[in-house]
């Protein structure tokens, strides 16, 4: 327990500590840091270089978040941005802290047991993140799934869960 808390602290330190603004409600955080880490590993190798891989759809940042995902997650913004300003989405998606909070909000909103195993856990979050809230029971891309599973297994081998 103690060591897990330490790990969380360390991971949290990797993220810039800018303040992130929601639209008037407190952020709940259903997703563990470990789980966030494995999702970004699968999406981008946790490469925090600010980038949009698809200029039209706007698939941006460490979690490869789309514009629609960002909207569903409550249009979080980095300091100084307004939710409806032109760059609000790109700036948030490319900021690891704002992006991670967007994932938290999205999961809080679309929480479901996608793999029908009777539990709501990181495996479900990984599906919801990659396939979307309404398609999360679908087929997972092989590379995404294997990178994600390897990451989870690697943590389990080290005694984390």
Binding part of the chain for ligand NAG, among 41-49, 65-73, 114-122, 149-157 by CB under 6 A, reads 41-49
Give the nearer residue to ligand NAG in terms of CB position, either 27 or 46. 46
Residue 55 or 159 having the CB closest to ligand NAG = 55
How far is CA 9 from each of CA 4, 32, 128, rounded to the nearest angstrom?
9, 11, 25
- With tokens 């389990």, the residue in question is 156
Supply the DSSP string of 82-142, one letter for each residue: -TTSTTHHHHHHTSHHHHHHHHHHHHHHH---TT-SS--SHHHHHHHHHH-TTSTTSPPPH
Decide whether 61 or 74 has the Cβ nearer to ligand NAG. 61
Among 11, 46, 51, 145, binds ligand NAG (CB under 6 A): 51
Residue selected from 49, 55, 86, 142 as contacting ligand NAG according to rule CB under 6 A: 49
Give residues in contact with ligand NAG (CB under 6 A): 45, 47, 49, 51
């Amino acid at each position: 327990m103690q060591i897990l808390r330490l790990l969380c602290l360390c991971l949290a330190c990797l993220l810039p500590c800018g303040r992130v603004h929601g639209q008037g409600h407190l952020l709940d955080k259903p997703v563990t840091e470990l789980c966030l880490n494995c999702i970004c590993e699968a999406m981008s190798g946790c490469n925090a270089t600010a980038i949009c891989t698809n200029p039209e759809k706007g698939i941006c940042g460490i979690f490869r978040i789309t514009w629609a995902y960002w909207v569903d997650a409550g249009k979080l913004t980095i300091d100084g941005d307004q939710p409806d300003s032109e760059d609000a989405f790109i700036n948030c998606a490319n900021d690891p802290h704002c992006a991670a909070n967007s994932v938290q909000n999205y999961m809080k909103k679309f929480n479901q047991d996608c793999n029908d195993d009777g539990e709501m856990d990181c495996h479900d979050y990984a599906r919801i993140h990659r396939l979307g809230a309404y398609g999360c029971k679908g087929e997972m891309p092989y590379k995404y799934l294997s990178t994600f599973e390897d990451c989870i297994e690697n943590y389990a081998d080290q005694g984390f869960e």
